[in-house]
Amino acid sequence: MAIFEKVALIGIGLIGSSIARVVREREIINNIAISTRSQETLDAARDLGLGDEYNIDASAIVHDADLVIICTPIGVVGKVLQSIAGNLKPGAIVSDVSSVKASVLEQMQPFIPDGVHLVPAHPVAGTEKSGPQHGFSTLFDNRWCILTPPSSADKAAVKLVSEFWQACGSNIEIMDADHHDRVLAITSHLPQLVAYNMVGTADDLETVTSSEVIKYSAGGFRDSTRLAASDPTMWRDVCLHNKDSILEMLTRFSEELSAMQKAVRWGDGEALFEMFTRTRNIRRDIIDAGQEVDTPNFGRDQK
Ligand code: NAP
């Protein structure tokens, strides 16, 4: 049986379109309404057959929606909510998918009308691609979805949003928005910034030609370029909206890097060996937790 009668998806990029696909495929919600900023993306969503209803005006699709999920970049979530707030149905649940939560909670809370429930969510799943054509229905399978409801949140609404994400394939964790931002700063935001930095460093090198960088990229560099190809808007917003936690993790990272630099300079093989052994165990734990496959080369086709 469907969990909700109607969902309104505002923003239909990688995440919004993946939600639309899994909802349709697993019959989680009967009616899918879609709105997005540009006519071009709305037409693409229609051509892909992602929804039952399409409207460039977000406020026109929310009046009878039981669940509204804002799937836009982090920086505009509050503005989008403000534009639809007057049309929300009493008892509706408003959620989002943003990768940063404290700022989003702050943006959204002032615009939630009485009788409407706010349950922010972050599906910790994605790829470096953007746009509705790149979504897929299994994106959330066996991935965590973190809910960060405000302390005053309606328990029944939190339960329904949990059930919704479980039906989409996710495991649920509920945590405080600030804690979420600290955890994700180390597991997601720092690696992303390191990748941007590493690829940028190679791009700046004058003694190694760019064709050599491309030709010999089979090392760790190639895997960093996947991250570094991610959407600049999304990652700009992550940095602007999770500033404190990211700065803290960057400081810790710089300290670790200095220690490594010192070990390399002084030929301290013991320190290097100890460091590399510790990190190897972390990968083992991630594989054991089912969050990575234990095949060489990330399971990539060797061709
Ligand atoms: P995306 O593929 O780039 O799609 C973004 C959607 O938001 C499009 O429908 C776009 O509309 C709309 N949009 C862009 N700028 C807007 C603006 N200024 N005002 C209103 N709408 C705007 O992005 P995505 O990867 O799905 O990411 C969406 C959210 O999911 C972000 O908050 C991100 O933090 C979160 N998230 C992403 C990932 C990931 O790996 N990508 C993972 C987890 C969570 P038009 O195309 O019509 O302009």
Section 79-92 average pLDDT? 98
Mean pLDDT of the chain: 94
Which domains, and CATH codes, for the chain?
A: 4-175 (3.40.50.720), 179-294 (1.10.3660.10)
3-state secondary structure of 31: strand
For 225-273, the pLDDT digits (tens) are 888 999 999 999 999 999 999 999 999 999 999 999 999 999 999 999 9
Q: Which atom of ligand 1 is nearest to the CA of 16?
A: 26
For 103-117, the pLDDT digits (tens) are 999 999 999 999 999
The answer to whether the CB of 41 falls within 8 A of the CB of 10 is no
pLDDT value at residue 212: 82
Q: Which atom of ligand 1 is nearest to the CA of 72?
A: 7
Write the residue with the smallest CA distance to atom 40 of ligand 1: 126
Angle ∠(144,147,152) on CA atoms, nearest 5: 165
pLDDT value at residue 12: 98
Q: Which residues of 247-283 are buried (b: 16+ CB within 10 A; e: fewer)?
A: eebbeebeeeeeeeeebeeeeeeeeeeeeeeeeeeee
pLDDT value at residue 294: 76
pLDDT at 297 over 70: no
pLDDT at 300 over 70: no
pLDDT at 202 over 70: yes
pLDDT value at residue 100: 98
Query: Ligand 1 pocket by C-beta < 6 Å: which residues?
Result: 11-16, 36-38, 41, 71-74, 76, 80, 97-99, 123, 126-127, 130-131, 231, 234
pLDDT at 274 over 70: yes
pLDDT at 54 over 70: yes
pLDDT at 295 over 80: no
Site to probe by mutation for ligand 1, drawn from 9, 10, 12, 14 as the one with most ligand atoms within 8 Å of Cβ, is: 14
The model's pTM:
0.93
pLDDT at 144 over 70: yes
Percent residues over pLDDT 70 in the chain = 97
Question: 279 alpha carbon to ligand 1 midpoint, in Å?
Answer: 33
Question: 41 alpha carbon to ligand 1 midpoint, in Å?
Answer: 11
pLDDT value at residue 303: 46
Dist CA 71 CA 85 (whole Å):
16
Q: Which atom of ligand 1 is nearest to the CA of 18?
A: 26
pLDDT value at residue 267: 98
Section 53-60 average pLDDT? 98
- What's the Cα-to-Cα distance from 261 to each of 71, 94, 250, 258, rounded to whole Å? 41, 48, 16, 5
pLDDT value at residue 217: 79
Question: 70 alpha carbon to ligand 1 midpoint, in Å?
Answer: 9
